[in-house]
């Protein structure tokens, strides 16, 4: 009799302790008098981890719930990790801009030892991020981007060739634009001819896409990374697959060896990284440089060069290809807007002797409005991550965010907020026209982030998209194919906002 009683008592005690710990953990925001949406057993993102719902939709629901309660902010849980969600636009502006010194880091999981490609500019924090950002910024100046323009034009002409050869068969524009951008970035950044447009199944294209093709287990691990980063490091969990790391590191190693062995210098991203590998140091025996504030930091290692190169590639081709796809999808539905933007493109090209030039892109105001409206409706990064790096009292409240507190900035929610964007679900490029764009601020429109930690490659990204769209729309009229869903469905397995199954379009060639 004693054994069953003792065992039963033990079970009850264990269950009680589990319940107590569960309630205590999920009372974090309750103790701080911060409103939370209903919390499922494993937190607010269990459906995202189980690949049942996109992160964008989950955060949009959370934002709408908090906004309906007329609160400054809210609290949520990613598994057992509490996240702060600002709702008031002035608080968001303070976090992203005015008080940025309190939120300099993204808090993204990285594992330098087992997965060197994860230690890149996007995931790095602190002084290392600050100095690295300042060193890499010169790559993305207008003058440097202008040098890349001819390569962009060449790749867009290759796209036109593919369309002509397809003979009006339905086209998956997501696939074509991803291959176009693979070729652009391979050439402009690394001096490598990828030939993805001609050879869609080459290794460069497949290995680059692999980052965004996560298994169910990998997806669950990704969302555990915010709650249990130390455990994941102990388990040697990687962000990138070993074969992907091996491929890209081998590619960069060969490119560096070729350049250094043959004294080859190119004006591209890899060349800048090679120079950072050799530069610095007040003397030849110390492998450091000294920053403006007197702090020392190591010169770039080979692994760090690979990490920055890899980030440049995956961020560049995926975000821009998705934007091109979403834009042409929207224009295929709204033929009047497509006709209007084509008219502008044709007028500008005709004024420039029938050529698309770098300077002529700046004359295409309506095209830029169309792209911006696409990015508002379909922000590729629908959520921005930040970590509190210094204790911070939220303006106008009594809430103190402690160092280490994680945040989510609800980009998708802000972009669909009627207060800032009337009729938010309507595709309306006019909201970015001169007459109305004064109503939009950097805090209410954040497709590239905001503040000092915004996207370093935003200029290049916009140029890549503009050139592709101007070239395609100049020569073709697009309509939605029956394979495309309307309304559009998003891929729940993709970490970013991506169309499920691609975007399929019909097209007709337009005579000059």
Q: Which residues pair with 171 in a beta bridge?
A: 505
DSSP of 341-403, one letter per residue?
HHHHHHHHHHHTTT---HHHHTT-HHHHHHHHHHHHHS-SS--EEEE-SS-EEPTTSS-EEPT
Mean pLDDT of 376-383: 96
Task: Give yes or no for residue 399 having a pLDDT over 80.
Answer: yes
Q: What confidence tier does 217 reach under pLDDT thresholds 50, 70, 90?
A: confident
Highest mean pLDDT among 3-7, 160-164, 489-493: 489-493
Residue 125 CB coordination number (10 Å):
16
pLDDT of residue 215: 81
Mean pLDDT of 54-61: 96
Q: What is the span of the domain harbouring residue 458?
A: 32-104+142-200+304-509
CATH number of residue 54's parent domain: 1.10.630.10
Q: Does residue 163 fall inside a structural domain?
A: yes
pLDDT of residue 19: 58
Task: Count structural domains, the chain.
Answer: 1
Instruction: Confirm if 132 and 124 have CB atoms less than 8 A apart.
Output: yes
Instruction: Confirm if 474 and 342 have CB atoms less than 8 A apart.
Output: yes
pLDDT of residue 272: 85
Q: What confidence tier does 308 reach under pLDDT thresholds 50, 70, 90?
A: very high
Mean pLDDT of 163-190: 88
Q: Does residue 336 fall inside a structural domain?
A: yes
Q: What confidence tier does 4 reach under pLDDT thresholds 50, 70, 90?
A: low
pLDDT of residue 103: 98
H or E element in which residue 246 lies: helix 242-262
pLDDT of residue 207: 82
Q: Are strands 406-409 and 384-387 parallel, antiparallel or unpaired?
A: antiparallel
Q: Does residue 367 fall inside a structural domain?
A: yes
DSSP of 190-239, one letter per residue?
H-----TTT-TT-HHHHHHHHTT---HHHHHHHHHTTT-HHHHHHTT--S
Q: Copy the structure tokens of residue 310.
A: 């890899």
- Phi, psi of 308, deg, nearest 5: -70, -40
Q: Copy the structure tokens of residue 354.
A: 């029938």
Q: Does residue 134 fall inside a structural domain?
A: no
Q: What is the overall mean pLDDT for the chain?
A: 88
Instruction: Confirm if 377 and 427 have CB atoms less than 8 A apart.
Output: yes
pLDDT of residue 203: 82
Task: Give yes or no for residue 367 having a pLDDT over 90.
Answer: yes
Instruction: Confirm if 35 and 66 have CB atoms less than 8 A apart.
Output: yes
pLDDT of residue 21: 57
Distance between CA 211 and CA 208 in Å, rounded? 6
Q: Does residue 3 fall inside a structural domain?
A: no
Instruction: Confirm if 345 and 367 have CB atoms less than 8 A apart.
Output: yes
Instruction: Confirm if 96 and 218 have CB atoms less than 8 A apart.
Output: no
User: pTM (2 decimals)?
Assistant: 0.91
pLDDT of residue 66: 98
Q: Does residue 89 fall inside a structural domain?
A: yes
Q: Does residue 135 fall inside a structural domain?
A: no
Identify which has the larger pLDDT, 282 or 80. 80
Q: What confidence tier does 297 reach under pLDDT thresholds 50, 70, 90?
A: low
**455 appears as a binding residue in the annotation:** yes
Highest mean pLDDT among 4-13, 82-91, 166-175, 238-247: 82-91
**Each residue of 79-110: pLDDT tens digit?**
888 999 999 999 999 999 999 999 999 998 88
Distance between CA 324 and CA 330 in Å, rounded? 10
Task: Give yes or no for residue 294 having a pLDDT over 50.
Answer: no
Q: Which residues pair with 81 in a beta bridge?
A: 78
Q: Does residue 119 fall inside a structural domain?
A: no
Task: Give yes or no for residue 286 having a pLDDT over 70.
Answer: no
Instruction: Confirm if 153 and 493 have CB atoms less than 8 A apart.
Output: no
Q: What confidence tier does 341 reach under pLDDT thresholds 50, 70, 90?
A: very high
**Each residue of 422-480: pLDDT tens digit?**
999 999 999 999 888 788 999 999 999 999 999 999 999 999 999 999 999 998 999 99
């Amino acid at each position: 009799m004693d054994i069953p009683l003792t065992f039963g008592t033990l079970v009850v005690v264990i269950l009680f302790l589990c319940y107590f710990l569960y309630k205590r953990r999920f009372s974090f925001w309750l103790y701080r008098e911060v409103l939370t949406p209903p919390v499922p057993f494993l937190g607010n993102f269990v459906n995202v981890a189980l690949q049942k719902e996109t992160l964008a939709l989950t955060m949009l629901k959370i934002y709408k719930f908090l906004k309906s309660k007329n609160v400054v902010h809210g609290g949520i849980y990613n598994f057992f990790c509490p996240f702060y969600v600002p709702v008031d636009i002035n608080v968001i502006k303070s976090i992203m801009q005015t008080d940025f010194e309190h939120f300099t880091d993204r808090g993204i999981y990285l594992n330098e030892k087992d997965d060197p490609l994860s230690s890149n500019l996007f995931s790095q924090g602190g002084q290392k991020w600050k100095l690295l950002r300042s060193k890499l910024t010169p790559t993305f100046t207008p003058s440097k981007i202008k040098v890349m323009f001819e390569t962009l034009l060449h790749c867009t002409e290759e796209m036109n060739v593919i369309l002509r050869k397809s003979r009006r068969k339905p086209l998956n524009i997501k696939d074509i634009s991803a291959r176009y951008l693979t070729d652009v970035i391979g050439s402009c950044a690394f001096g490598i001819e990828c030939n993805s447009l001609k050879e869609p199944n080459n290794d460069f294209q497949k290995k680059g896409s692999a980052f965004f093709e996560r298994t169910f287990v990998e997806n669950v691990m990704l969302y555990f990374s915010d709650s249990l980063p130390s455990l994941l490091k102990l388990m040697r969990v990687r962000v990138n697959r070993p074969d992907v790391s091996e491929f890209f590191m081998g590619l960069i190693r060969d490119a560096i060896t070729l350049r250094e062995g043959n004294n080859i210098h190119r004006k591209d991203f890899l060349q800048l990284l090679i120079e950072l590998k050799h530069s610095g140091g007040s003397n030849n025996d110390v492998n450091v440089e000294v920053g403006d504030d007197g702090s020392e930091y190591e010169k770039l290692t080979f692994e760090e060069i690979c990490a920055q190169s890899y980030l440049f590639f995956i961020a560049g081709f995926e975000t821009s290809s998705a934007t091109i796809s979403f834009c042409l999808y929207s224009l295929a539905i709204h033929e009047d807007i497509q006709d209007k933007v084509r008219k502008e493109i044709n007028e500008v090209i005709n004024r420039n002797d029938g050529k698309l030039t770098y300077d002529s892109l700046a004359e295409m105001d309506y095209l830029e409005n169309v792209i911006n409206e696409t990015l508002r409706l379909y922000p590729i990064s629908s959520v921005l991550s930040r970590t509190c790096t210094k204790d911070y009292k939220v303006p106008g409240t009594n809430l103190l965010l402690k160092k280490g507190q994680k945040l989510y900035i609800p980009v998708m929610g802000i972009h669909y907020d009627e207060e800032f964007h009337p009729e938010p679900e309507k595709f309306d490029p006019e909201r970015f026209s001169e007459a109305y764009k004064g109503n939009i601020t950097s805090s209410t429109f954040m497709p590239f982030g905001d503040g000092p930690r915004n996207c370093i490659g935003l200029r290049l990204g916009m140029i890549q998209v503009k050139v592709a769209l101007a070239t395609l729309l100049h020569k073709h009229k697009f309509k939605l194919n029956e394979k495309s869903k309307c309304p559009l469905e998003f891929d729940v397995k993709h970490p970013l906002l991506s169309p499920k199954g691609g975007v399929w379009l019909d097209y007709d060639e337009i005579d000059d």
